[in-house]
Structure 1
Amino acid sequence: MKNTNEYKSPIAALLWSVMMTGFGQFYNGQYIFGALLFIFEIAANGLSSLNMSILHSFHGNTQQAHDVFDHQWGLFYPSSYAFSIWQAYNKAIVINCQQEKRDYPKETYLTGFFILFVIGMNLGVYYHHHLLSGIPFFSSPIFNGLSWGFLFGITGHFAEKYIKAKRNIGKD
């Protein structure tokens, strides 16, 4: 019998989703939703040849990493990956509010980070031969996508904090 009043750590949910799309949902008890995200991850990963591109990237074979990677399927991956992480984190917060019989937060968390993370990853994956192509690390669609994703994501996080701070100043 499962304890329904079990605290769900938002950070643990986030980290499980970082490990594999859908695992944060499993942690939160959303088994069907987690399974659907996991199946989509397996399909997008396989159809885009993401793992082969990662392997070639780690070996420094940036041209092979580019050639093996199917961009049409690969551009789906950042969205599902980021959504899984964002949703698991925010759902853990909601679960804890339900258990403590508190009102749900009126906002979501890390939204700016993940929206711009997806945009940055997609731009980095798609334009990896054009942006900083002289540097081998950035010639890989995977490493370039992750680098631009984190850069955009951090920018989005600070923009979201700035907007929320401005909104709260106006309420005083």
Structure 2
Amino acid sequence: MRSSRPYKSPRAALVWSLVLPGFGQLYNKDYFVGSLLLVLEFLINLKSHLNLVLVSTFNGDILQAHQAVNYGWGLFYPSIYGFALWQAYNSAKANNHKLEGKTVEKRTYYTGFFIGLVIGIDFGLFWHDVHLIKTVPLLDYPVFNGVLVGMLLGLLGHLLEKKYRKTRVKQV
């Protein structure tokens, strides 16, 4: 990153990446990483039939959602998505530290949350078809189950990271 960049809002970078992986990086002027994430997002989206799964899910057609998804490709999507969110936020924070004349912190923010989110979404997608989960109709959809489990594990990861940082600060 160049130090001549103007202030970049970490929240705006996060929201742009939430809209589409790679947009947050383009907002931060990380053109190579942003372009790479956009290409990967479109490739994985196309190969996993994610848009068809989303349309079927929101229309309530669970059978079509189950038949359309290609899990071989679909399980890559949460990793690209989580990385794009995490990298955009932390890149904006690092940019702003440079602008203020501070040394760039070695720590990253919300790492536990994003790792938990990615693992949770993968598990949610993979386990949505388990008999116990099928008893709750909304969770039988791959998308809803992935988001719910992802958010739960993301929250758990965030709490574990906070606890780790507190104990580490006490030791220093």
Fold-level similarity (TM above 0.5): yes
What does residue 159 of structure 2 align with? 158
1:62 and 1:123 mapped to 2: Cα distance?
19
What is the percentage of aligned positions where both structures have the same residue? 43
* Runs of 4+ residues over 2 Å off in structure 1: none
Bigger mean CA offset, 95-104 vs 69-78: 95-104
Bigger mean CA offset, 80-89 vs 100-109: 100-109
Residue ranges of structure 1 left out of the alignment (5+ in a row)? none
Letter in 2 for 1:145: G
What does residue 106 of structure 1 align with? 106
Letter in 2 for 1:9: S
Q: Deviations over 1:12-44 (max 9, x none)?
A: 101100000000000000112101100100010
Q: Taking structure 2 as the reference length, what is the TM-score of the superposition?
A: 0.95
1:121 and 1:163 mapped to 2: Cα distance?
23
What does residue 93 of structure 2 align with? 93
Does residue 50 of structure 1 match 2:50?
yes
2:9 and 2:24 mapped to 1: Cα distance?
10
What does residue 140 of structure 2 align with? 139
Contact 2:117 2:150 in 1 (8 A): yes
Please give the secondary structure, in 1, of the residue aligned with 2:152: helix
User: What is the aligned-residue RMSD (CA, Å)?
Assistant: 1.2
2:153 and 2:88 mapped to 1: Cα distance?
21
Letter in 2 for 1:86: W
Contact 1:21 1:38 in 2 (8 A): yes
What does residue 62 of structure 1 align with? 62
Q: Taking structure 1 as the reference length, what is the TM-score of the superposition?
A: 0.95
Contact 2:5 2:95 in 1 (8 A): no
2:127 and 2:92 mapped to 1: Cα distance?
35
